[in-house]
C-alpha cells in the first residue's frame, strides 16, 4: 500500500474523526513533522539534537529512526554522526495517533463577515500544538464548518468558554490593539478547594513560567526585596470574588488584570485555594515533564497523590520542534509496532 504522508498543509476533514462512547478520536495517519535547526542546536549530531531536545523517546529510538530514514535532513538520509547546521530542514516521519478529546461540539454561537464566536469545550486545545493537530478547535471548525483561516486568542486545553475569533488579519490586529490597551476584559469561573474568603481577594505575585517543565511558580515582591534578590518572572495581578461555597469547595469569579501563563491557576494555589481538579497545582508531588517525556498536566496526574488508572494504553510521541503529549495507542492498528515504537 502506498503511504500518503500528511503535512501541516493538509487540512482536517470530517471523515478524519471517529466518535465512540462520548469521545472524539482521530483516525491514525502518516505525518511528516517539519522543523528547522535553531542556532543553539547547530554543531550537535542529529541523534544528540533529538535526544537532548525531544525527550519523549529514548536515544535508541532516534538512532534507529536516523538509520532507517524516518529522520532526514533537507530531504536526505544521513548518518547518525551527522552534524546539523543552522536553518536546515529536519523531517521526522511517523504513524501518528492523536490524543482523544471529549466529543462535545465546538458550537458556533455567532458568525459575521470578519468575526466568529464559538463555545470551546474542555479537553480540546485551541490550535495545533504538541500531539494535537486535528483534535483542536481550529481543526474541528475547518473540518465540520469549512471555517478557515481563523486568527485567535487562546484558552488552555482544559478550560471551556467563549472564543471570539477574527476571520481576517486586519480584524485580528484590531483585537490585539484592544487587548493590549485594556479595552477587553476576561472573566473566569473556577471551583476551588476550601472556603474562599467572602471579601474580594487581590493577588499581586510575579508569575515565573518554566516552559521546559510546563508550569509556573510565584514570587512575592516583599520577600525578594528583603533578601536583596531580583524578582523572577513577570508582574501579575488577579482579582477573586467568591460566588458561593458548600463548606468543602467554593465557586470563585476570577478576573485576571494581567495575562501570564497559568496565572489564575498558580495565584489560586498561592492563595491556598487551588482549583479542585487541577493536579498540576493541587499535587504536592509533580514529576518533571522533561525527564518523564510527557505534558506537565499528565505528569501531575500520573504521579500526584490521587492518580487514577487509565484504561487506554499510553505511549509517547515526539514531534520535531514540538513538545510531547500522551496519546492513546490503538492495538488494532497494525502499523504501530513498526512505525511508532511503544513508548
Residues with a known catalytic role: 156
Question: Among candidates 100, 137, 132, which has minimal Cα distance to 118?
Answer: 137
268's enclosing H/E stretch is helix 263-270
- To which residue does cell 504522508 refer? 5
Buried b vs exposed e over 83-94: b needs ≥16 C-beta within 10 Å? ebeeebebbbbb
> Cα dihedral sign for 10, 12, 13, 15?
positive
C-alpha cell at 103: 466529543
- Residues 6 or more apart from 332 whose CB is under 8 A from it? none
Closest CA to 255 of 245, 243, 246: 243
Closest to 236 measured CA to CA, from 279, 190, 270:
270
Nearest-angstrom CA–CA distance, 318 and 341? 11
Q: What is the DSSP string of 86-131?
A: TT-EEEEEEEE-PPPEE----EEEEE-SSEEEEEEPTT--SS-BTT
Contacts of 149 (CB under 8 A, 6+ apart): 167
CA–CA–CA angle 4, 321, 53 (5° rounding): 125
Burial letters 41-71, b for 16+ CB under 10 A, else e: beebbbbbbbbeebbbbeeebbbbbbeeebb
DSSP SS3 for 321:
coil
Contact of 175 with 189, CB cutoff 8 Å: no
Amino acid at each position: 500500500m502506498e503511504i500518503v504522508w500528511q503535512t501541516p498543509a493538509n487540512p482536517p476533514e470530517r471523515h478524519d474523526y471517529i466518535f465512540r462512547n462520548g469521545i472524539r478520536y482521530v483516525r491514525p495517519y502518516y505525518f511528516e513533522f517539519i522543523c528547522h535547526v535553531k542556532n543553539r542546536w547547530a554543531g550537535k549530531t542529529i541523534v544528540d539534537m533529538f535526544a537532548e531536545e525531544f525527550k519523549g523517546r529514548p536515544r535508541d529510538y532516534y538512532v534507529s529512526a536516523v538509520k532507517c530514514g524516518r529522520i532526514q535532513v533537507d530531504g536526505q538520509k544521513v548518518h547518525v554522526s551527522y552534524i546539523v547546521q543552522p536553518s536546515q530542514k529536519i523531517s521526522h516521519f511517523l504513524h501518528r495517533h492523536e490524543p482523544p478529546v471529549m466529543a462535545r461540539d465546538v458550537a458556533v454561537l455567532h458568525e459575521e463577515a470578519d468575526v466568529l464566536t464559538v463555545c470551546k469545550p474542555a479537553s480540546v486545545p485551541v490550535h495545533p500544538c504538541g500531539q494535537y493537530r486535528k483534535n483542536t478547535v481550529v481543526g474541528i471548525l475547518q473540518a465540520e464548518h469549512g471555517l478557515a483561516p481563523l486568527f485567535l486568542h487562546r484558552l488552555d486545553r482544559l478550560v471551556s468558554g467563549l472564543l471570539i475569533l477574527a476571520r481576517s488579519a486586519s480584524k485580528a490586529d484590531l483585537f490585539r490593539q484592544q487587548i493590549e490597551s485594556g479595552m477587553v476584559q476576561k472573566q473566569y469561573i473556577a471551583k476551588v478547594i476550601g472556603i474562599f474568603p467572602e471579601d474580594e481577594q487581590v493577588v499581586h505575585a510575579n508569575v515565573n513560567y518554566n516552559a521546559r517543565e510546563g508550569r509556573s511558580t510565584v514570587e512575592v515582591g516583599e520577600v525578594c526585596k528583603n533578601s536583596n534578590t531580583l524578582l523572577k518572572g513577570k508582574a501579575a495581578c488577579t482579582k477573586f470574588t467568591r460566588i458561593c461555597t458548600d463548606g468543602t469547595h467554593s465557586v470563585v469569579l476570577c478576573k485576571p488584570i494581567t495575562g501570564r501563563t497559568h496565572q489564575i491557576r498558580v495565584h489560586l494555589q498561592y492563595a491556598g485555594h487551588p482549583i479542585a481538579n487541577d493536579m498540576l497545582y493541587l499535587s504536592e508531588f509533580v514529576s518533571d515533564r522533561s525527564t518523564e517525556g510527557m505534558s506537565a498536566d499528565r505528569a501531575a496526574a500520573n504521579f500526584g497523590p490521587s492518580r487514577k488508572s487509565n484504561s487506554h494504553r499510553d505511549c509517547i510521541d515526539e514531534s520535531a520542534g514540538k513538545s510531547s503529549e500522551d496519546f492513546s495507542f490503538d492495538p488494532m492498528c497494525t502499523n504501530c509496532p513498526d512505525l511508532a515504537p511503544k513508548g
